[in-house]
Amino acid sequence: MSMNLKKILIGTPLSEEHLEHQKIGKAKALAVLSSDALSSVAYATEEILIPLMAFSVAAISWSLPIALAIVLLIIMITLSYRQTISAYPNGGGAYTVAKENLGTKAGLVAGAALLIDYVLTVAVSVAAGIENIGSAFPFIYAHREIFCILIIFILTIVNLRGIKDSSTIFAFPTYFFIFSFILMIAFGLYKVALGESPTPPDLIIHEAYPVIPYFLLMKAFASGCSALTGIEAISNGVQLFKKPHAKNAKKTMLWMSAILGFLFLGLSVLAHYYQITPKEDETVVSTIASSVFGKSTVFYFLVQSSTALILILAANTSYADFPRLSSLMAKDGYLPRQLASLGDRLVFSNGILGLGLCASLLIFLFGGETHHLIPLYAVGVFLSFTLSQLGMVIHHFKIKEPGWIQSGTINAIGAIVTGVVLVIIASTKFTSGAWMAILLIPYMAFAFSRIRSHYNITAKQLGKQSSTFVPGEIDHITVIPISGLHPGAMDAIAYAKTISTNITLCYVDVNKTATEEMILKCKNVVPSIKLEILPSPYRSIISPMIEYIDKLRNESPHRLITVIIPEFITSKWYHNFLHNQTALWLMAFLRNKKRVIVTSIRYHLE
């Protein structure tokens, strides 16, 4: 039944021959890998306006110069990541660049920052989308945690079907968002040209700007840099593209950045012309759309619905990159090896499931509130940016390919700017929750190193050629826990006779009458086999057995003990709930006992 359900949900398994057919072209890759970056357009302008508005209404005039500075930063980071794609076409982004050029520790920090970023992207995006929908449907907002987790479950299932299927499904909402915003910007500027906006068309740059604290200006810039979140996704997922991988990824990176820069700057210009200020009960995008189209028009609802969709589907970028980055780190030995395995549909299924589970846990812990989640979000983003840029500076210095001085200069400037933004975000949002990310990133990096250490120790021990077991010279005893002399127990006894001559039946005394009957029955049925009655004054079944086996181990530490556990298998899976499952519990408790071998003899009921 479970296999049939799995086929219905995620489809039939694919062989590795289909791996190249699962690669996607530039148009679909733009939809899958750019949704996170493009979704930031929905709130980046608002993030600039909020700190400026808190100082004064006049300070809002600084929003456009700040937006222009962020667009320049987008261009700089785009150029840097295009170089990263050429230098590291196997993907991995900041993790690979930092590990190769700055050392293992820097790579692990970058990997931790990216993984946290991807999990938070899912949680923040889905929560923001549900909040957006919830403003129109109060019932959804009142139960936002449930709806958020439901959306995450759907995204997880769709992505388990494979990158080709998920890209086909999610392409429409992304392009719907792009074209609806282009339409809004174009029509808004058309109305500005006709003189229908509060600000005259020629007043795009002010002769004088109000004096505001330098720190506030930097805070507004840092907040607006949320427009850069997700811009690195394409460099992490180069291997998702059809051949030639790197060439297609670089073109898509250019398209994505051009669209991102145009939409972000376009919205910032409209906010300037229409004198938009942040409101508690309405987003800046909603205010701009109502100013351009009118609140009761179809076009207004098109913009709002496309915004809600892109905010939710921004999470899909993480579903493309988190499993792939996890697989790279797992292959390097820094994450559990299960994350490196391809699933039935040629995707890293364990990574997809892990991402969905972690994001759902965050939604549950933070109540689906975006303002609680966002402070955790930005630190990892700009830390990975900074490490990637620094790594590329060293890469250019080592390789010294043609034009390396210019390329290295761009990366160095980018590293300085993103590093400054990182410091500002960490300091201004520390008490709001950024401290959790600041503590979690080094802790995760340390955990990665311990995982690698475990694998190294395991490999060293398993590589030993000597064996402690010499055929014919093993001090061996066989123990059979029984609850009665049923067919399963008799099969276990028959099997025990084939591997040992030292056999002991163990029966736990929880009822005097039943124990006396068992002693008599064993004398009649298996008189040649030793029966050990284990007292249990507190009516426990497991504890006396464990104590008896520990006693045998202490008596002779070098003795090999085989515990043969009879268990019966019910004909229907749901019948298991009607039984105690003592055999399973006993096997679980014996699992970590040294020199104890556990064997299960199954008797299948009709």
Write out pLDDT tens, residues 241-277. 888 888 999 999 999 999 999 999 999 999 888 888 8
> 520 and 376, same structural domain?
no
Assigned domain for 464 exists: no
Most confident residue range from 5-9, 342-346, 437-441: 437-441
Choose the weakest-confidence range: 365-379, 424-438, 479-493: 365-379
Check pLDDT > 80 for residue 428. Answer: no
**pLDDT grade, residue 474 (50/70/90)?**
low
Assigned domain for 243 exists: yes
Which of the pair, 532 or 537, is modelled with greater confidence? Answer: 532
> 411 and 554, same structural domain?
no
> 188 and 78, same structural domain?
yes
Check pLDDT > 80 for residue 575. Answer: no
CB 111 within 8 A of CB 406: no
- In this predicted model, what pLDDT tens digit does every residue of 196-237 receive, in sequence order? 777 766 666 666 677 788 888 888 888 888 788 888 888 877
Quote the pTM value. 0.77
Assigned domain for 597 exists: yes
> 319 and 386, same structural domain?
yes
Assigned domain for 460 exists: no
Nearest to 603 by CA among 579, 581, 570: 570
**pLDDT grade, residue 465 (50/70/90)?**
low
Q: Which helix (H) or strand (E) holds 480?
A: strand 476-481
Check pLDDT > 90 for residue 370. Answer: no
> 171 and 108, same structural domain?
yes
User: Residue 374: what pLDDT?
Assistant: 66
User: Residue 375: what pLDDT?
Assistant: 64
Non-local (6+) Cβ contacts of 266 within 8 A are: 181, 182, 185, 188, 189
User: Residue 444: what pLDDT?
Assistant: 93
Question: Bridge-partner residues for 479, per DSSP?
Answer: 504, 563
User: Residue 71: what pLDDT?
Assistant: 92
Check pLDDT > 90 for residue 82. Answer: no
Q: Give me the mean pLDDT over the 510-514 stretch.
A: 88
Q: Give me the mean pLDDT over the 162-182 stretch.
A: 85
End-of-domain residue from the set 422, 455, 488: 455
User: Residue 228: what pLDDT?
Assistant: 82
- In this predicted model, what pLDDT tens digit does every residue of 91-138 receive, in sequence order? 777 888 899 899 999 999 999 998 988 898 888 888 877 876 776 677
| Alpha-carbon span 77 to 99, nearest angstrom | 19
| Alpha-carbon span 521 to 515, nearest angstrom | 10
- In this predicted model, what pLDDT tens digit does every residue of 26-79 receive, in sequence order? 888 888 888 888 888 888 888 888 888 887 877 888 888 899 989 988 888 888
CB 508 within 8 A of CB 541: yes
CATH number at residue 148: 1.20.1740.10
What are the tokens at 409? 């200069």
DSSP 569: E
Mean pLDDT across the chain: 84
Assigned domain for 302 exists: yes
CATH number at residue 518: 3.40.50
What are the tokens at 18? 């289909």
DSSP 432: I
Q: Give me the mean pLDDT over the 164-193 stretch.
A: 87
Surface-to-core class of residue 413, CB atoms within 10 Å of its CB (0-12 exposed, 13-18 middle, 19+ buried): middle
User: Residue 274: what pLDDT?
Assistant: 86
CB 359 within 8 A of CB 152: yes
> 482 and 357, same structural domain?
no
| Alpha-carbon span 47 to 58, nearest angstrom | 16
Which of the pair, 461 or 206, is modelled with greater confidence? Answer: 461
Q: What angle do CA 423, 426, 431 make, to 5 degrees?
A: 150
| Alpha-carbon span 181 to 298, nearest angstrom | 14
Non-local (6+) Cβ contacts of 233 within 8 A are: 33, 34, 36, 37, 317, 320, 321
Assigned domain for 103 exists: yes
Assigned domain for 462 exists: no
User: Residue 295: what pLDDT?
Assistant: 81
**pLDDT grade, residue 351 (50/70/90)?**
very high
> 402 and 517, same structural domain?
no
> 550 and 425, same structural domain?
no
> 199 and 155, same structural domain?
yes
User: Residue 511: what pLDDT?
Assistant: 87
Give Cα separations from 442 to 88, 109, 359, 447, 530 (angstroms). 25, 6, 20, 9, 57
Nearest to 415 by CA among 395, 435, 429, 432: 395
**pLDDT grade, residue 342 (50/70/90)?**
confident
User: Residue 548: what pLDDT?
Assistant: 92
Assign 517 to helix, strand or coil. helix
Q: Give me the mean pLDDT over the 600-606 stretch.
A: 84
Which of the pair, 24 or 523, is modelled with greater confidence? Answer: 523
Domain extent at residue 588: 476-604
User: Residue 460: what pLDDT?
Assistant: 84
Report how many domains make up the chain: 2
Q: Which helix (H) or strand (E) holds 168?
A: helix 163-193
> 438 and 490, same structural domain?
no
> 481 and 451, same structural domain?
no
DSSP structure string for 210-258: ----HHHHHHHHHHHGGGGTTTTHHHH-GGGBPSSHHHHHHHHHHHHHH
Assigned domain for 280 exists: yes
| Alpha-carbon span 373 to 351, nearest angstrom | 22
Surface-to-core class of residue 305, CB atoms within 10 Å of its CB (0-12 exposed, 13-18 middle, 19+ buried): middle
Buried b (16+ CB within 10 A) or exposed e, 579-592: eeebbeebbeebee
> 335 and 374, same structural domain?
yes
Nearest to 166 by CA among 183, 151, 154, 182: 154
